[in-house]
Amino acid sequence: MLQRYTLIFALCSLLIVPAGAAKRRVFTIGDSTMSEYQPAATPKRGWAMYLQAFFNPDSVEVVNRGKSGASTRTFYETPSLWPSVKEQFHQGDYLIIQFAHNDEKCKGEDVYVTNRELLEAGKDTLTDMRGTEPNTTYKEYLFKFINEARGYGVTPVMMGPICRAYFTKDGTIGDEGRHLLKGTKELDRKEASRVLTSKGTYDKDYVRCMREVAEDMWVPFLDMTAASQELYERQGKEYCMEHYFSCGDKTHTAAEGGMAIATLAYNLIQQEPLLADMQSWMVFPSKEEYQVYAQRIEEKGRQAALTAKGGHGTSTIKRPKLVNMQEFKGKGYAPQGGWWPAGEIDEVQSRYLEYSVFMPSKKGAVVEQIELPVQAIGGNGMNIHINYGFGNEFKGVTTIYENTALRKNKKLTICLREPIIVPSGERLIIRVLPWYDSNGKPQKGKYLHVETMTVSFKTLH
């Protein structure tokens, strides 16, 4: 009986294939344009959610480890991200690397250095910590991913970031949409000494910098930036915004957009001579087969709930664990120092409220409902994600709730009924990740208040 639940869980892309399994694996690492989303939580769909449709499922598993809000630096340094990915590598695996959207924070400046100096001086940091300068730090982290993957016998593949839907008046994608930030910057002598490769001008062109790293390291480079630009311009702004980017912004794709980008990924892989081995694993589904695959993504949680049998139980957690957050006079929670940094448009993985859920069954469980009263105190700019994962490594991370419009001082009881399968021996971790739309300025006196979390579940027999 338990094998059935384990199989369903694998279909949900929440389990990693055991070391002895025969399947080859393709890992994907990147940001929110790639990551996993719970269909009931948000209209967003990462394109890598659909990549498995292009590989023979009997012999190949796509392991999507894209993470909302990640930059090269934060993905590399967050224990639940790159370190846990490396633990799952086996010789012969492939790794697709796609970053830039969050590396562009703070106008492409390497703000981590500035913030570290402020911290050492005992001062508050008021800027987003994710930004990396493309000619220096961004490249350095790409080199780290490549070298460390190769150390495990894994083949790295660089993929340019998908374009943002930043259309100009003439219907083309503008420079910022192609990850070329406005203006150029001549690096000073100290910065120039850190540049590992230096070709052309020192503009802040993330795609050029990724291509240079790929060339220097003899790594395949798949120009998804150019491919997605051509697609968007061919379809036109009106179609793209109605069908591809129907999530309320110009960065994140909905289901149709995610499927279109995954199809581009297939085409780019097929055209790269250095990926002949990977090409031999691939299939190309018909339009009808692809639609069926996408529909299974939308319905997989409900299917899991229907098959689960066992006794019912509840778990209540009154106080969350605080990570890089502080409590203020019982009113709510804010970042350490009390300030919400300027420029945040997505979750920050290193700042959250964490709930650890105890499941009494040794055979696993299915979470049927999560209930959490929340309240944004002091302003209308509070946003939250709720993610779940498993164990200390926080593996299998999935976004199950998103609210980017919490109303000031209005209590809201979040009630999530999308099933979560908790495998035998695993501990369920739920994280609430807040950020604040600050209109370009740091904000203080804004808090997120949360009450007791109640988790209802069905234990498996």
Structural domain boundaries of the chain?
A: 2-305, 308-459
Contact (Cβ atoms closer than 8 angstroms) between residue 48 and residue 84:
no
- Going by pLDDT thresholds of 50, 70 and 90, the confidence category of residue 16 is very low
Neighbours of 67 (CB within 10 A): 27
**340 versus 141: which is more confidently predicted?**
141
Residue 126 has pLDDT above 90, yes or no: no
The DSSP element (H or E) to which 73 belongs, if any, is helix 72-77
Neighbours of 176 (CB within 10 A): 13
- List, for residues 94-115, the tens digit of each pLDDT value: 999 999 998 887 777 776 666 6
Candidate ranges 156-165, 321-330, 434-443; pick with highest mean pLDDT: 156-165
Residue 195 has pLDDT above 50, yes or no: no
For position 189, what pLDDT does the model report?
A: 42
**CATH topology for 308-459?**
Jelly Rolls (2.60.120)
Collapsed DSSP state (helix, strand, coil) of residue 208: helix
Contact (Cβ atoms closer than 8 angstroms) between residue 225 and residue 179:
yes
Average pLDDT over residues 279-301: 89
The DSSP element (H or E) to which 181 belongs, if any, is strand 180-184
pLDDT averaged over every residue in the chain: 83
For position 345, what pLDDT does the model report?
A: 74
Residue 321 has pLDDT above 50, yes or no: yes
- List, for residues 151-170, the tens digit of each pLDDT value: 999 999 999 999 999 999 99
The DSSP element (H or E) to which 164 belongs, if any, is none
Structure tokens of 119?
Answer: 């911290």
For position 205, what pLDDT does the model report?
A: 92
**CATH topology for 2-305?**
Rossmann fold (3.40.50)
- Going by pLDDT thresholds of 50, 70 and 90, the confidence category of residue 7 is very low
Contact (Cβ atoms closer than 8 angstroms) between residue 422 and residue 310:
no
User: Using alpha carbons only, what angle is made at residue 155 by residues 222 and 49, rounded to the nearest 5 degrees?
Assistant: 60
The amino acid that residue 330 corresponds to is G
- List, for residues 223-233, the tens digit of each pLDDT value: 999 999 999 99
pTM of the model: 0.69
CA atoms within 13 A on the CB side of 132: 27
For position 31, what pLDDT does the model report?
A: 94
Average pLDDT over residues 83-88: 92
Instruction: Decide the pairing of beta strands 24-30 and 94-98.
Output: parallel
Average pLDDT over residues 197-202: 48
- Torsion sign over Cα 363, 368, 373, 378: positive
